[in-house]
């Protein structure tokens, strides 16, 4: 009897049985997809003058978003000062300029100390099963309750010509933002996309940054004012990128 063939048959049968067991076990498990939405960009702070947009309660912790599911939770961060809070997506059917990554309530802008001239935020979707949301849900409900009862004061812009500011040193802020088109695995792909943008739009200030040997970032900018930034951002609509981002000081 050829024992080598015998043991080979037994080993093959054992391996096949183990594979089937793993496959069957896998089918019965639910795996959480860790593909979270993340975006940095400018928010549109709701006010009564935005009559083409459905009203947003000024005291709420609600936002409008274009793609995130209604009633989903998001973390909103002010990258400038590190302040953040948990907000609720009220609707994803409200139409507003694609330049803005969301419409937020005045309460959110106030709590995060956002600069109304540059309301730059980072939005991150939060899974209901995540550790973060489990720890913060109670805080969210408490913040929401307090926010809905508390008055909303306007954010005052200091008069630089007033007597109280004459002796203070005024630090002039530099506006410097770029549009992140995408990150590419190969530099050649980034070059192809760069050329296509140049050929199909009037955008010229493009560059490729090598972040690693397998990560090449295509950027537009930097821009020195919000008008030119918004103009170029809206020109990119023809390419149907799902998640264009605005980056600060890159």
In a domain, 159, yes or no: no
135 and 183 belong to one structural domain: no
Q: Tokens standing for 79?
A: 């990258």
pLDDT at 129: 61
pLDDT of residue 212: 95
User: Within this chain, do residues 42 and 143 fall inside the same structural domain, yes or no?
Assistant: yes
Tally DSSP H helices, then E strands, for the chain: 5, 10
**Separation of CA 63 from chain center:** 13
Q: What is the model's pLDDT at position 250?
A: 85
d(CA 76, CA 90): 14
3-state helix, strand, coil in the chain (%, to 5): 30, 25, 40
128 with 230, same domain: the answer is no
Residue 244 DSSP code: -
Number of domains the chain is built from: 2
The residue with greater pLDDT, 107 or 9, is 107
Partners of residue 124 on adjacent β-strands = 38, 75
Residues 203 and 133 in one domain: no
Indicate whether 234 pLDDT > 90: yes
Residue the block writes with tokens 């918004």: 230
**Residue 17 falls inside a structural domain:** no
Q: Are residues 114 and 217 in the same domain?
A: no
Say if residue 143 is in the same domain as residue 194.
no
Rounded distance, CA 221 to CA 205, Å? 6
Boundaries of domain holding 235: 177-248
Domain boundary among 134, 149, 164: 149
Q: 214 CB contacts (<8 Å, ≥6 apart)?
A: 185
In a shared domain, residues 59 and 140: yes
**CATH number (domain holding residue 125):** 2.40.40.10
Residue 15, in any domain of the structure: no
pLDDT band at 168 (very low <50, low <70, confident <90, very high): low
Residue 6 has pLDDT above 90, yes or no: no
pLDDT in tens, 30-88: 333 346 899 999 999 999 899 889 999 999 999 999 999 999 999 999 999 999 999 99
31 inside domain: no
Mean pLDDT of 172-194: 93
Do the domain assignments include residue 3? no
pLDDT above 70: residue 149? no
Domain holding 222: CATH number? 3.30.70
Judge if 144 and 215 occupy the same domain.
Answer: no
CA distance 44 to 50: 10
- Amino acid 228: pLDDT: 96
Helices (H), the chain: 3-27, 106-111, 131-149, 187-200, 226-235
pLDDT band at 145 (very low <50, low <70, confident <90, very high): low
CA-CA distance, 139 to 143, in Å (whole number)?
6
């Amino acid at each position: 009897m050829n024992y080598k063939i015998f043991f080979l048959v037994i080993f093959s049968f054992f391996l096949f049985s183990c594979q089937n067991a793993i496959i069957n076990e896998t089918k019965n498990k639910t795996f959480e997809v860790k593909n979270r939405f993340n975006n940095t960009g400018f928010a549109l702070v709701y006010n009564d003058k935005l009559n083409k947009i459905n009203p947003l309660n000024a005291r709420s912790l609600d936002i409008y978003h274009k793609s995130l599911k209604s009633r989903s939770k998001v973390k909103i961060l002010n990258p400038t000062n590190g302040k953040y809070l948990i907000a609720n997506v009220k609707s994803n059917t409200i139409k507003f300029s694609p330049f803005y990554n969301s419409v937020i309530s005045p309460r959110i802008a106030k709590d995060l100390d956002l600069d109304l001239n540059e309301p730059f935020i980072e939005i991150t979707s939060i899974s209901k099963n995540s550790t973060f949301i489990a720890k913060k849900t109670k805080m969210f409900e408490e913040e929401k309750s307090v926010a809905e009862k508390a008055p909303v004061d306007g954010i005052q812009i200091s008069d630089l010509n007033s007597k109280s500011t004459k002796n203070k040193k005024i630090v002039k802020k530099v506006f410097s933002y770029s549009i992140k088109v995408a990150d590419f695995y190969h530099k050649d792909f980034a070059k192809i996309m760069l050329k296509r943008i140049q050929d199909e739009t009037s955008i010229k200030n493009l560059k490729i940054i090598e972040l690693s040997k397998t990560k090449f970032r295509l950027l537009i900018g930097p821009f020195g004012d919000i008008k030119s930034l918004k103009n170029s951002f809206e020109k990119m609509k023809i390419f149907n990128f799902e998640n264009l981002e605005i980056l600060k000081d890159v």
